[in-house]
Amino acid sequence: MAAIRVRDLRKSYGAMEAVRGVDFDVEEGEVFGFLGPNGAGKTTTVEILEGYRQRSAGEVTVLGHDPAKGERALRERIGIVLQETGVERFLTVAEVLELYCGYYPRPRAVDELLTLTGLEDKRNEVVKELSGGQRRRLDLALGLAGDPDLVFLDEPTTGFDPTARREAWEVIRNLRSLGKTIFLTTHYMDEAQHLADRVAVIAAGRIVAAGPPDRLAGRNRATEIRFTAPPDHRLPDLAGASVTALDRGVVVRTDDPTAVLHVVTGWALERGVTLDGLTVSRPTLEDVYLELTAEAANGQ
């Protein structure tokens, strides 16, 4: 069964339609990455799923409930880690966790939450003394207080140093191995690449691509060959590949790298030309993402 099911979701603010017919499913036990630029309808969509906003039209089911009803039974089973949410500044880490655990029928143990998020040393620290990264880990711990089946993570590692990010990713992977479903929104493509089983990209209120990060928008098929050729040589004919000449070299994009590479290197050997900086690579998730969102922005 799908943990989240969204069909033709729409949301308007006055005359402005922020979400324009969005469909997707999040399967139980997967990490679902939800990507999109600011203002694309991402936050609106997530907040509708979380029950903070009402939709204008469409169908939404979260763990079998309609989040618009604000049912307690649903809130007992989800954990929400928002951006920029405060917490009582004058309580200690352990006290805040104890308070929030008390809101749920089957909470996790405070010690467990502290261990999971690496806050054991900060247990008796007053919240206002915590650093930004520690505060963010506390956010995560609070989101997990009720031992939720589904966790919403909104930009969970913003402001983390690289080590802290890796640690946070480890926590998220652990959650996944416990069978939790995770709905992750992030601006970091490497984060989505590392964590998400599937991603969806929203741009201008619509889903423009969805799939596993490795195969998103034909990413697995497109290969980029880059090199620098001497300026006085005309390149061979590369049928079926897109060639872009940049001032510092050539980018060839192709579905058939073996053949293209053969033609290019054959041509170079024949003429005794060296191809400086020759690389063969697949576009990163970030490349694909930037292309998709730019297309959507231009199409508006």
Partner 1 sequence: MNDAAIAARQVRFEQKAFWRNPAGAVFTFAFPLLFLVIFSTLNSGMRIEERGNISFVTFFVPGIVAFGLVSACYTNLAIRMTISRDFGILKRVRGTPVPTWAYLAGQVASSVIITFILFFLTVGLGVVAFGVEFRTGTAAGLFATLALGAACFCALGLAVSGMCPNADAAPAIVNFSIFPLLFVSGIFFPLDNAPAWLTAVGKVFPMQQLADGLQYAFDPRTTGLGFNARDLWSLLAWTVAGSVLAVRLFRWDPVKK
Sole binder of partner 1 in the list 52, 155, 280, 284 (CB under 8 A): 52
Provide, rounded to whole angstroms, the least separation between the CB of residue 153 and partner 1. 13
The string over 190-210, giving b where at least 16 C-beta atoms fall within 10 Å of a residue's C-beta and e elsewhere, is ebbbbbbebbbbbbbbbbbbb
Shortest CB 146 distance to partner 1, Å: 7
- Residues that contact partner 1, how many (by CB under 8 A): 29
Of residues 51 and 213, the one with the C-beta less far from partner 1? 51
CA distances 221 to 2, 278, 288, Å, are 29, 19, 12
Q: Is 126 in the site for partner 1 (CB under 8 A)?
A: yes
Q: What's the Cα-to-Cα distance from 59 to each of 6, 13, 50, rounded to whole Å?
A: 6, 18, 14
Q: Are 189 and 289 in contact (CB under 8 A)?
A: yes
CB closer to partner 1 out of 31 and 80: 80
Cβ closest to partner 1, residue 100 vs residue 267: 100
Q: Residue 90 or residue 177: which is nearer to partner 1 going by CB?
A: 90
Position 169 contacts partner 1 (CB under 8 A): no
Tell the residue number behind the tokens 């098929």, with chain if given. 221
Which span sits near partner 1 by CB under 8 A: 142-150, 179-187, 191-199, 286-294?
142-150
Residue 39 or 212: the one with the smaller Cβ distance to partner 1 is: 39
- Of 50, 147, 191, 224, the residue at the interface with partner 1 (CB under 8 A) is 50
CA neighbours closer than 13 Å in the CB half-sphere of residue 20: 15
Under 8 Å between Cβ of 128 and 90: yes
What is the sign, positive or negative, of the torsion defined by CA atoms of 21, 296, 181, 120?
Answer: negative
Comparing CB distances to partner 1, the nearer of 103 and 266 is 103
- Binding to partner 1 in span 65-124, by CB under 8 A: 72, 75-76, 78, 80, 82, 84-91, 95, 98-100, 102-105
Burial 101-116, CB ≥16 within 10 A → b, else e: beebeebbebeebbeb
Q: Is 158 in the site for partner 1 (CB under 8 A)?
A: no
| Cβ(7)–Cβ(61) below 8 Å | no
Closer by beta carbon to partner 1, 75 or else 219: 75
Whether the Cβ atoms of residue 300 and residue 204 lie closer than 8 Å to each other = yes
Radius of gyration of the chain measured on its C-alpha atoms = 23
Applying CB under 8 A, which residues contact partner 1?
50-52, 72, 75-76, 78, 80, 82, 84-91, 95, 98-100, 102-105, 126, 142, 145-146
